[in-house]
């Protein structure tokens, strides 16, 4: 799997995670899911929020790591080119 395909896949996971977070918040706050279904409603709402966090946070951290790594590689390449021009 190439890096661009991996980045697209991780961005998809971020979108899924954010949608699950919003769904869980909606079920708790506006749909009154726990009041209608009791403990089961709480578990379903909390599960949506938990899986949303699981999907969104680690992928953001990994994408940030890739971005910083790519930026550092570009800086190293730029410094190497400057040294070659001087020498």
Please state which of the ranges 22-26, 33-37, 66-70, 76-80 shows the lowest mean pLDDT. 76-80
What is the domain count for the chain? Answer: 1
Please tell me the distance from the alpha carbon of residue 54 to that of residue 29, in angstroms, as a whole number. 21
pLDDT value of position 87: 57
Q: Report the residue count for the chain.
A: 87
Whether the predicted pLDDT of 42 surpasses 90: yes
Using DSSP, state whether 2 is helix, strand or coil: coil
Boundaries of domain holding 26 = 3-86
């Amino acid at each position: 799997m190439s890096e661009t395909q991996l980045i697209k896949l991780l961005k998809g996971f971020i979108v899924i995670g954010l949608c699950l977070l919003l769904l869980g918040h909606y079920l708790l706050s506006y749909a009154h899911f726990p009041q209608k279904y009791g403990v089961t409603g709480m578990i379903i709402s909390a599960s949506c929020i938990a899986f949303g966090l699981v999907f969104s946070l680690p992928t953001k951290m990994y994408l940030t790591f890739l971005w910083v790594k790519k930026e550092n590689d570009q800086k190293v390449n730029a410094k190497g080119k400057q040294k070659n021009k001087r020498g």
